[in-house]
Amino acid sequence: MASLDDLKKRIASVKSTQKITKAMKMVAAAKLKRAQDSAEKGRPYSEKMNNIILNLSEGISDKENAPKLLSGTGKDQIHLCVVMTSDRGLCGGFNSNIIKKAKSYFSRLSSEGKELKIITVGSKGNDQLKRIFGDKIIENISFKNSKNANFFDAEKVSKIIIERFQKEEFDICTIFFNQFKNVITQIPQAQQIIPLKTDIDDKEKSEDNYEFEPDEDEILTNLLPKNISTQIFKAMLENSASEQGARMSAMDNATRNAGEMVDKLTIEYNRSRQAAITKELIEIISGAESL
């Protein structure tokens, strides 16, 4: 059995760990509030954008000559996967969930004989993927310096993607991120952004025709890159809310576990203290008896 001194030290160390996890939980909770807020506020923009694009792509007259960003290259040989993770750890299964989802997608692609290229956003994803898929990663983007997800960063990412698309480096682009459902649940998502998937519900189809100024094609060519930025920005917002949520629940668990551990150690400490006292008493008594 460990000595009393050792136990005392361990209790103290677990307690200070508990203090740290508790503080981290509080910080995550405060940040979560903000991230959740901005994720919710950001939704109307991306929804509206999506709507307009849907209406536009329906109205487009010449489907053959539609912009490539909408219709794709006509092939699906080379896949670009943008894996969006966080830059910081200690957030439970947040990063590994995205990675898991991405990895299963990757293995499906390779079993189908497709070529794979990866862009990682956020350093944690890069760390986890570079061991197995290191040769597939063509770019690693990290926004360690920006405090919150902002549109400017999203535009940077989309610029890189679009540039590569125009050089015909890939045919299909999918982004991986965690969708924020609530504090405990984040759902890893795979969303295809190039070519754009237009899954139109029939009931939402608008009946009336729009007037376009300038014409549809020009609007679409201008709008599609914007839409990609918007989708990436949405993913970033969802991700940051998810990250804080995941961190909060992970830290909550850690704090609780630390509490349990302190209890257990305290019992052990008290027992061994008692044992030592009993032992001493026995020694004294048996010494007095022998006189």
Residues that bind other proteins (CB under 8 A): 38, 41-42, 44-46, 48-49, 51-52, 55-56, 150-151, 154, 206, 208-214, 219, 222-223, 226, 230, 233
Tell me if residue 91 is catalytic. Answer: yes
What are the strands of the beta sheet with 172-180, ordered from one edge? 137-141, 115-121, 78-84, 172-180, 186-194
Catalytic residue among 53, 70, 82, 91: 91
Comparing CB distances to other proteins, the nearer of 93 and 225 is: 225
To the nearest whole angstrom, how small is the minimum distance from the Cβ of residue 34 to other proteins?
12
CB of residue 157 to other proteins, shortest distance in Å: 13
Tokens of 230: 């918007």
**Is the preceding omega at residue 195 within 30 degrees of 0, hence cis?**
yes
Tell me the residue length of the chain.
291
Residue 103 carries which side chain, given as an amino acid letter? K
In angstroms, give the least distance from the CB of 24 to other proteins: 26
Nearer to other proteins, 242 or 249 (CB): 242
Nearer to other proteins, 210 or 278 (CB): 210
Nearest distance from C-beta of residue 84 to other proteins, angstroms: 16
Q: Burial of 90 by CB count in 10 Å (0-12 exposed, 13-18 middle, 19+ buried)?
A: middle
User: Measured from the CB atom, is 5 or 213 closer to other proteins?
Assistant: 213
The alpha carbon torsion through 82, 88, 92, 95 (nearest 10 deg) reads 10
What amino acid positions are annotated as catalytic residues?
91
